[in-house]
Amino acid sequence: MDFTRIIELASYTLPAIVTGFVAYRFFELHIKNSDKKHAFLLNRDYQKQSLPIRLQAYERMTLFLERINLTKLLIRISPISPDKHDYENFVIDQIEQEFEHNLTQQIYMSEECWTIITTAKNSTIQMIRKAAMSDRVDSADKLREVILNDLLEKQSPSNAALSYIKNEVAELW
């Protein structure tokens, strides 16, 4: 084989190899872009369907936190007897029932948000128990009074959780 024959063969083969490589890269990029577009469209459709459900979960948990806000809770629930322990247990049972009613909402919100809501519930119950153990409390009405006076000095736990929910919902937009 002579040198001119090799150059002639290379002059035909090299452009074919380059063209093949460019075509391969073009189709590879086209397929990747197509996959990304498909994934984006699926994600957008998922967002359209899931956003209303997630917002409803946040609404329900906002309502829960408003209902367990001690100021509103103690006004809404009057003592069933003069005994402070009966009233303490009754109010705590109301909080627990409300929480159990909304338990399934946790699948629609972040783990951190759910933890904050649970912490607010537990802190509210702890405030009730702590006030009931106080020496100055001897009746259900006195328990209400002590809890409400304590709330004048500090913020209700549900208010902090409500602020977190508002921030998380704002991030959805």
pTM greater than 0.85 (yes/no): no
Q: Name the band, by pLDDT with cuts 50, 70 and 90, for residue 3.
A: confident
Give residues with Cβ within 8 angstroms of 94, minimum separation 6. Answer: 73, 77
Are 157 and 123 in contact by the 8 Å Cβ rule? The answer is yes
Summarised one tens digit per residue, pLDDT across range 31-48 is 999 988 888 887 777 667
Q: What is the DSSP string of 112-132?
A: HHHHHHHHHHHHHHHHHHHHH
What is the average per-residue pLDDT within 142-151?
A: 89
Are 51 and 172 in contact by the 8 Å Cβ rule? The answer is yes
Could you identify the residue written with the tokens 């460019």? 22
CA distance 55 to 60: 9
Least confident of 2-16, 97-111, 158-172: 2-16
Q: Can you give the pLDDT at residue 1? A: 60
- For the chain, the average pLDDT equals 90
Summarised one tens digit per residue, pLDDT across range 80-111 is 889 999 999 999 999 999 999 999 999 999 99
Q: Can you give the pLDDT at residue 118? A: 97
Domain range summary for the chain, segments of one domain joined by +: 51-171
Give residues with Cβ within 8 angstroms of 119, minimum separation 6. Answer: 157, 161
Q: Can you give the pLDDT at residue 50? A: 77
Residue in 87, 160, 88 with CA at minimum distance from that of residue 128: 88
**Token digits for 70?**
């001690």
Are 39 and 135 in contact by the 8 Å Cβ rule? The answer is no
